[in-house]
């Protein structure tokens, strides 16, 4: 089976979490871009297209929900908008 690498952006204010998850994803052949706040995420997305964004919901300054909304205002997702919360930030938590 042929596997292509995805370009994944990780956005979290907890640097250790980003580094650990980046390492695991890279070990599996993925390309990873890190951002440590919402503004950095949006600035990077303006110049670098990615396949997936893993976005922390609770961050200081611009939180993940605001970051997602601002990104959706500037990017078309072809009618399919997705947000995912992980164990790190569970739904309802």
Query: Which band of pLDDT confidence, cut at 50, 70 and 90, is reported for residue 19?
Result: very high
Domain 7-59 sits in CATH 3.40.50.2300? yes
pLDDT tens digits for 34-65? 999 999 999 999 899 899 999 998 999 988 88
What residues have CB less than 8 Å from 37, skipping those under 6 apart?
11, 13, 59, 60, 61, 62
- Annotated domain spans of the chain: 7-59
Name residue, tokens 């303006």. Answer: 46
Higher-pLDDT residue of 79 and 11 is: 11
Q: Is 34 helix (H, G, I), strand (E, B) or coil?
A: strand
**Average pLDDT, stretch 16-33?**
96
Q: Which of 87, 77, 67 is nearest to 11 (CA)?
A: 67
């Amino acid at each position: 089976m042929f596997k292509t690498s995805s370009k994944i952006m990780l956005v979290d204010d907890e640097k250790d979490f980003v580094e650990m998850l980046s390492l695991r994803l890279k070990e599996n052949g993925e390309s990873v871009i890190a951002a440590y706040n919402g503004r950095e995420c949006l600035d990077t997305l303006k110049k670098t297209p990615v396949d997936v964004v893993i976005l922390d919901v609770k961050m200081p300054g611009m939180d993940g929900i605001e970051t997602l909304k601002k990104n959706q205002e500037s990017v078309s997702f072809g009618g399919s908008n997705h947000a995912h919360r992980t164990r790190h930030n569970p739904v309802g938590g």
